[in-house]
Amino acid sequence: MPFTPDKREYRSFGGFDTAQNEQDDKLTLRGVAIVFNRPTVLWEKDGIEYKEVIAPGALDGCDMSDFILNCNHGMNDGTVYARTRNGSLRYEITPMGVSIEADLDAEDERHKNLHRDVCKGRVDKMSFSFIARECSYDRETHTRTILKIKKLYDVSAVDFPAYNDTSLTTARDFFSAEHAKEFKALEQSSLRRRRLALALKTYEISNKGV
């Protein structure tokens, strides 16, 4: 299916574990950044809910060589809290999704504040940004499936899920195009039925006098 290539997208499917560690002056955050096989409604139009799901195997071949943990995708102050490249951010791909573990800096007030906010439940969601490489679309269920992710840029602690006009532009454009195709197909189907009914009525009238 066509989609906008090389366009970064943002999704929020996961969250932090309720239990956080604080041992030996080391602040650790754990959570699930990406969840597989969980359909999520991203757009609604004319009473139709358009959903998206991340497929297991979507990260096969994905560039995950260097991604970061930040907060609200860096929109607040651009702080990098952990990074895979220096080992402070680690991840595991499981059948359920992607789990992460991040070591924060106990000497940095921003890191301590984030850790405290997560522990107290003020920040409890996670989001991630990525570029899709391959996707499919099911018109019966109105579901877009992300089959392959090209690159993972960051995982982020978010106070609100990243379902806003800015972060969902690419998905909204995708669903809008599919909605237009579906509406056109319905119109054509309705036109064909009307033409068939008219042809049948004409045939019945013409054969009445036979």
Phi, psi (rounded to 5 degrees) for 159: -80, -30
- Distances in Å between the Cα of 49 and the Cα atoms of 43, 45, 146, 163 are 6, 7, 17, 14
Q: What is the mean pLDDT of the chain?
A: 80
The Cβ of residue 115 has, within 10 Å, a number of other Cβ atoms equal to: 23
pLDDT in tens, 71-111: 988 887 789 999 999 999 999 999 999 999 999 999 999 99
For residue 42, name the pLDDT band (cuts at 50, 70, 90): confident
Two tokens, residue 118: 């997560």
pLDDT in tens, 48-75: 888 889 999 999 999 999 999 999 888 8
Phi, psi (rounded to 5 degrees) for 164: -130, 175
This prediction has a pTM of 0.73
pLDDT in tens, 155-167: 999 887 644 443 4
Two tokens, residue 171: 């998905």
Q: What is the DSSP letter of 159?
A: S
- Of 61-65, 116-120, 134-138, 161-165, the poorest mean pLDDT is in 161-165
- Decide which of 67 and 193 is more confident: 67
